[in-house]
Amino acid sequence: MTRPFLYWYAFCFTRLLGSCWFQLDTGGIMLIRKLTSLLLMTGIVFAVACQKKDDKNVNGIYADELRDPAKIFSNRPTAIGKFVALFKLQTPSLFEALKTDQLKKTVDPELLAEIEAEQKAFINAVKTSTPDALVMMKYKYIVNGIAVLVSVDEYNKISKFASVAKAEAAQTFARPMLAETKQNDYDMDLAKNNSALFIGTKYAMDKNIKGQGIRVGIIDTGIDYTHAMLGGSGNDTDYKAINPGEKSNMFPNQKIVGGYDFVGTDFGSGKPGSRIPKPDGNPIDELGHGSHVSGTVAGIGDGVYSYDGIAPEAQLYALKVFGVEGGTSDEAVIAALEYSADPNGDGNIDDRLDVVNLSLGSSFGSSRNMYNLAIKNLTQGGTVVVASAGNAGDTSYIVGSPSITDEALSVAASVDSMDHNWKFKGIEFFKGADSMITEYVEGAISKKIADTTEVKSKLVYIGLSNKDLTPEQAAALKGNTALIDRGGNPFYEKMKRAEDAGAIGVVMVNNQEGAPFVMGGEPDGPTVAIPSVMITQQVGEAIKKEVISGTDVLVQLKTAKKLEKPALIDTLADFSSRGPRGEDSLIKPEIAAPGEMIISAAMGKGKLTVPMSGTSMSGPHMAGVMALMKQFYPELNVTELKSIVMGTATSIHDEKKQVYPVSRMGAGRVQVDKALASAVATQPASISLGEVLVEAKKVMYKEIKVRNVRPEAVTFAVEFQGHPALSITGGNVTLPPKGAGVLGLKIAIDSSKLKNGIEEIDGFVLFTQEEKEIFRLPVLAVVRKVTQMSAQNLKIFATSQADSDGAMSQVDVKNESSQDGVVVPMNLIAVDARKYVNPSDAQTTSKACDIQAVGYKILDGKIYFGFKMYQPLTTWFACEMSVLFDSDGDGNADQELAGVPMNRLQGLPAVGQFSSILLDANIAKAIRQQYEISAALGKPVQLSYVKAVEDVQPMMPLNHSTIALLVADISKIRPQKQTGQVSFKIASSSLEEYNVEEDDFLGDDEKEWRKLDLTPAGQSYVFSDLAVPMTPKTQKALTFTKGQGAQDLMLLMPSNRSLNNSATLDEQLVIMKPSFQN
């Protein structure tokens, strides 16, 4: 049986083990591709680990089998290829059917009994039918599900159980990366200027709103409960004395009142057995990330090394899901969320956590996996889930999971006013009475500026310093500072010549635009005994011009003066991930909070702190804010609480004073003081219009539930500020004290005011009193101009099929719309049926990669395969298209043409964000096999597919449509020698890690090979253009030549309407049969 090369990663270590764990069948194809990253990220399982028998089985999460898994794995070969699968059962979870009496929520005891009986029956069935599978974790509150360690065959068998509603592979999360920053790199009064005060917490503290009685869970690397900020002694020897695998008498304390280590120290490290959790009752932080996060949420500062967190009197729970090395996985994160529903596990959920912080995630997030369902259900119980948006930067749709879950509050990172964020160390240049301070980066192979004295010296320009200096240059340099150009020779060589001539320092001029960087040398190589710095090209060239002209320019490398950039305050951090949400263009991130160089607890350092940057730091600011909101507004639900902080946020600007788009900052930067003084709350918290198709003009209607949270009546007007193509009207609103109402909004979009065919348009619906904003609703739409194109009258100008070869052919195409369009003619290969999705699973099942039809054309020595999907994709990161070629007729693929994001295969030349890559399948399999063997033996080699690559061409994904084109040099495809044809198969697959649905093969390609004639004449129609533009209100006869093939004509019209439902066909595909006309 043949399958796409990228599914062939799993293989038998027969020489190592004497047996094979994988029996690859149809159901396993999709899964193997996902397992590649899962296995290598978390470590191949060589052994199993036991939960300590004296540890509490917290909240009933861990299955009995996990206490002694040797019962299952005794006398077995190592479980290479095993992975964790999550099985959701049919009965709803407890939080999906909570009973509510006023503000008190309770679980349904009858439902609990039903869940427990169903899970018991499921586990017994697993033991009976797949005795080698390991049942690991059970969930009942937020998901009725079971986590099981399985092979592909076991997964296929278990997923067919009648009690299974949905199955997926556990997704992995990378280990948090920490910035190496020295203590006391900052020098400022922390009591007067810090990130908490910047967002308005003084207002809350003055009113004694400090998080009293609020419980916050930190799902992270654990918490250092010995740290002074976090209720500990502040003695670093206490931290050093802790054994992470044993209980400690220092935990819990008054600040860290609860928690659990759900995975153990070695989890995810790649060591034998590290894929299986080894839970214990000691959630001590071994990495540092969770402690820093916790200090921001609710730490107690001393005003010298640290400052108070946002909610300093809130209680914290350390929910540890990372080991000391490696990443974590869904089953552990869901276990922590499950714990949050009932921390003491007694069935009474009054102790459920009020807020949970998730400073973890993965880019291009999907909301269709099980932990997103867990978050949704947890919020039904009233818990606010705060999640970091990600650190992937200003790339559309890259915002990460789990922040893209509807109910989670997705947080971007901004820059606060602390001195180290806008006052920077500089060097000072002097020309006569004038001086200038500029930024620099210090060299790594030279004397530190901190170890020098403040001295001015003359700049002497010596060019590249790539050859011995002249006597005149050497004499001029003595006692002065060398000005040198970057490039041509190593930094050390340049610096050494200056040092030998008696220079007291070096200023290096960058030879490229952009920021300067650290000048380094060989590892353990020589250094120079004078300081060196690099400055920007722009500044350096200006200084060089003065020096070369004969002007005396002096420099002082060490100065107490700072380079001030106040324009950086209240900007977004460069790394903060951009939205909107990938699958539907909804608003994510939703709010911004400080995340640049945040000072908080340094793990294992007693009372000391460390600055760190990331949305991992902005998230806990918002977790602390939501703790304050839960305290102050106990009657509001999660959506209303989100609306309070979003509705009172403020817009922020970049350094050029341009307001950031909603897709980057959400509603804006949080303002605690304004949130606590808000007059209203709304449901929803934003107006996410998603992707909107507009030909000319469209009017929509949205209703917003508005609640008056004040004891007095409130009246406000509604106005809109934003993109000129968008207009929103709503009138005036009056609400009685603590009353509620519905605001109807008419939303109009005028496509004539758009500059592009696809465009983000945004703005804010403002609630105003006396023309002053009191509340806002962010608005975002991704508008696609849509055409009305159609085709008719496909004619071949010949008597019949018998004499049609070479005949002129024509089809009439009409564009009735007011927008430009395009048509891509191709030869149809086949049409595929729509994949069935159970309506109950629609919200958690991806339909993005379901093939509707595929066609091809040969043009200018290249072959193009046109993929038409049933569902549109905003971006094609979620899907991979594959064409398999059998060149020798043996029924096995010899080549694969894969359309993939460039980051999916390492070591390949870049030709764009997406590529069409033609691989020698046999070589690629061998490369992968060697890589996995090396990894299994603990001697990993670099993974590079360069030797397997036979052709790389751009892929042509048409975002916001159902269409993508793969391209290959036709001369690189190897035909069968006997026939000159090539056998081929076509498939698509989801690249979403959790998604273990089978691949979608075109028609019967899973079982049969198609035949393809690689000559242009073998096509049914021979075209001269790849695509044909269609101007508005025009009709055009497309003319081409009839070939010798018998395929139907396939017309792709990506600018036509696409549809996002499971029943109706869209208008982006036309298939036509010809008539003959002589």
- Measured CA to CA, the distance from residue 788 to residue 813 in angstroms comes to 11
pLDDT at 620 over 50: yes
**Residue range 464-477: mean pLDDT, rounded:** 95
Please report which confidence band the pLDDT of residue 835 belongs to, taking 50, 70 and 90 as the band edges: confident
- Measured CA to CA, the distance from residue 496 to residue 594 in angstroms comes to 43
Angle between helices 289-298 and 615-632 (to 10 degrees): 30
Of 432-436, 532-536, 659-663, 940-944, the poorest mean pLDDT is in: 940-944
- Measured CA to CA, the distance from residue 51 to residue 73 in angstroms comes to 15
Encoding tokens for residue 990?
Answer: 């989801």
pLDDT at 406 over 90: yes
- Measured CA to CA, the distance from residue 753 to residue 1031 in angstroms comes to 18
pLDDT at 444 over 80: yes
Encoding tokens for residue 969?
Answer: 């040099």
**Residue range 323-339: mean pLDDT, rounded:** 93
Please report which confidence band the pLDDT of residue 48 belongs to, taking 50, 70 and 90 as the band edges: very low
pLDDT value of residue 19: 24
Beta strands in 274-408 (DSSP E): 315-320, 328-329, 355-358, 384-388
Angle at the Cα of 949 from the Cα atoms of 13 and 998, rounded to 5 degrees: 55
- Measured CA to CA, the distance from residue 885 to residue 269 in angstroms comes to 38
- Measured CA to CA, the distance from residue 127 to residue 310 in angstroms comes to 48
More confident residue, 844 or 393: 393
Beta strands in 536-679 (DSSP E): 554-556, 562-564, 591-594, 598-601, 609-612
Encoding tokens for residue 878?
Answer: 């979620």
- Per the CB < 8 A criterion, the answer to whether 1027 and 865 are in contact is no
Neighbouring C-beta atoms of residue 978, cutoff 10 Å: 8
Distance of CA 359 to the CA centre of its chain: 12
Distance of CA 1008 to the CA centre of its chain: 37
pLDDT value of residue 11: 23
Angle between helices 638-647 and 615-632 (to 10 degrees): 110
Please report which confidence band the pLDDT of residue 837 belongs to, taking 50, 70 and 90 as the band edges: low
Please, which residues have CB within 8 angstroms of residue 615's CB and are 6 or more apart in sequence? 359, 388, 389, 390, 391, 411, 412, 413, 573, 575, 576, 577, 595
In a 3-state reduction of DSSP, which class is residue 917? strand
pLDDT in tens, 689-709: 999 999 999 999 999 999 999
- Per the CB < 8 A criterion, the answer to whether 475 and 427 are in contact is no
- Per the CB < 8 A criterion, the answer to whether 94 and 108 are in contact is yes
b or e along 870-887 (b: 16 or more beta carbons within 10 Å of the residue's beta carbon)?
bbbbbbbbbbbbbbbbbb
**Residue range 320-344: mean pLDDT, rounded:** 94
pLDDT value of residue 977: 81
In a 3-state reduction of DSSP, which class is residue 116? helix
Angle at the Cα of 508 from the Cα atoms of 503 and 514, rounded to 5 degrees: 165
In degrees and rounded to multiples of 5, residue 895 shows phi and psi of -140, 155
Share of the chain above pLDDT 90, in %: 74
Please report which confidence band the pLDDT of residue 994 belongs to, taking 50, 70 and 90 as the band edges: very low
pLDDT value of residue 907: 61
pLDDT in tens, 495-549: 999 999 999 999 999 999 998 999 998 888 999 999 999 999 999 999 999 999 9
- Measured CA to CA, the distance from residue 385 to residue 375 in angstroms comes to 7
pLDDT at 822 over 70: yes
- Per the CB < 8 A criterion, the answer to whether 652 and 660 are in contact is yes
Please report which confidence band the pLDDT of residue 849 belongs to, taking 50, 70 and 90 as the band edges: confident
- Measured CA to CA, the distance from residue 34 to residue 994 in angstroms comes to 8
In a 3-state reduction of DSSP, which class is residue 616? helix
**Residue range 906-931: mean pLDDT, rounded:** 79
Whose tokens are 């994949």? That residue is 835
Helix (H), strand (E) at residue 689: strand 687-694
In a 3-state reduction of DSSP, which class is residue 626? helix
Please report which confidence band the pLDDT of residue 76 belongs to, taking 50, 70 and 90 as the band edges: very low
DSSP conformational letter for 182: -
Mean pLDDT score across all residues of the chain: 88
pLDDT value of residue 838: 65
Please, which residues have CB within 8 angstroms of residue 175's CB and are 6 or more apart in sequence? 268, 287, 322, 325, 326, 327, 328
Residue 388's nearest CA partner among 607, 650, 677, 598 is 598
**Residue range 377-391: mean pLDDT, rounded:** 96
Residue 248's nearest CA partner among 328, 167, 318 is 318
Largest CA distance in the chain: 96
Please report which confidence band the pLDDT of residue 87 belongs to, taking 50, 70 and 90 as the band edges: very high
**Residue range 917-935: mean pLDDT, rounded:** 82
Residue 778's nearest CA partner among 696, 875, 669 is 669
Please, which residues have CB within 8 angstroms of residue 707's CB and are 6 or more apart in sequence? 636, 640, 680, 681, 682, 683, 735, 739, 740
Helix (H), strand (E) at residue 442: strand 441-442
pLDDT value of residue 71: 33
- Measured CA to CA, the distance from residue 886 to residue 510 in angstroms comes to 52
- Measured CA to CA, the distance from residue 951 to residue 827 in angstroms comes to 23
Q: What HEC string does 515-552 produce?
A: CCCCCCCCCCCCCCCCEEEEECHHHHHHHHHHHHCCCC
Task: Choose the most confident range, by mean pLDDT, from 171-185, 278-292, 512-526, 884-898.
Answer: 278-292
Please report which confidence band the pLDDT of residue 104 belongs to, taking 50, 70 and 90 as the band edges: confident
- Measured CA to CA, the distance from residue 578 to residue 45 in angstroms comes to 36
- Measured CA to CA, the distance from residue 1036 to residue 1028 in angstroms comes to 10
Please report which confidence band the pLDDT of residue 880 belongs to, taking 50, 70 and 90 as the band edges: confident
pLDDT value of residue 40: 32
- Per the CB < 8 A criterion, the answer to whether 150 and 73 are in contact is no
pLDDT value of residue 402: 92
In a 3-state reduction of DSSP, which class is residue 988? strand
- Per the CB < 8 A criterion, the answer to whether 520 and 446 are in contact is no
pLDDT value of residue 646: 98
pLDDT at 587 over 80: yes
- Per the CB < 8 A criterion, the answer to whether 362 and 261 are in contact is no
Please report which confidence band the pLDDT of residue 767 belongs to, taking 50, 70 and 90 as the band edges: very high
pLDDT value of residue 376: 96
- Measured CA to CA, the distance from residue 96 to residue 79 in angstroms comes to 36
Instruction: Please report how many Cα atoms fall inside a 13 Å half-sphere around the Cα of residue 294, on the Cβ side.
Output: 38
**Residue range 871-886: mean pLDDT, rounded:** 88
Q: Residue 318's beta-bridge partner residues? A: 218, 259
- Measured CA to CA, the distance from residue 484 to residue 202 in angstroms comes to 50
- Measured CA to CA, the distance from residue 371 to residue 374 in angstroms comes to 5
- Measured CA to CA, the distance from residue 239 to residue 322 in angstroms comes to 18
Which domains are delineated in the chain?
Answer: 5-173 (3.30.70.80), 195-420+570-648+659-668 (3.40.50.200), 423-564 (3.50.30.30), 679-784 (2.60.40.10)
pLDDT at 1055 over 50: yes
**Residue range 763-782: mean pLDDT, rounded:** 97
Task: Choose the most confident range, by mean pLDDT, from 58-62, 451-455, 954-958.
Answer: 451-455
pLDDT value of residue 15: 22
By DSSP bridging, strand 99-101 and strand 532-535 are unpaired
- Measured CA to CA, the distance from residue 959 to residue 963 in angstroms comes to 8
**Residue range 573-586: mean pLDDT, rounded:** 93
- Measured CA to CA, the distance from residue 356 to residue 623 in angstroms comes to 7
Whose tokens are 């033996």? That residue is 937
Share of the chain above pLDDT 70, in %: 88
More confident residue, 498 or 1061: 498
**Residue range 170-177: mean pLDDT, rounded:** 80
Neighbouring C-beta atoms of residue 752, cutoff 10 Å: 11
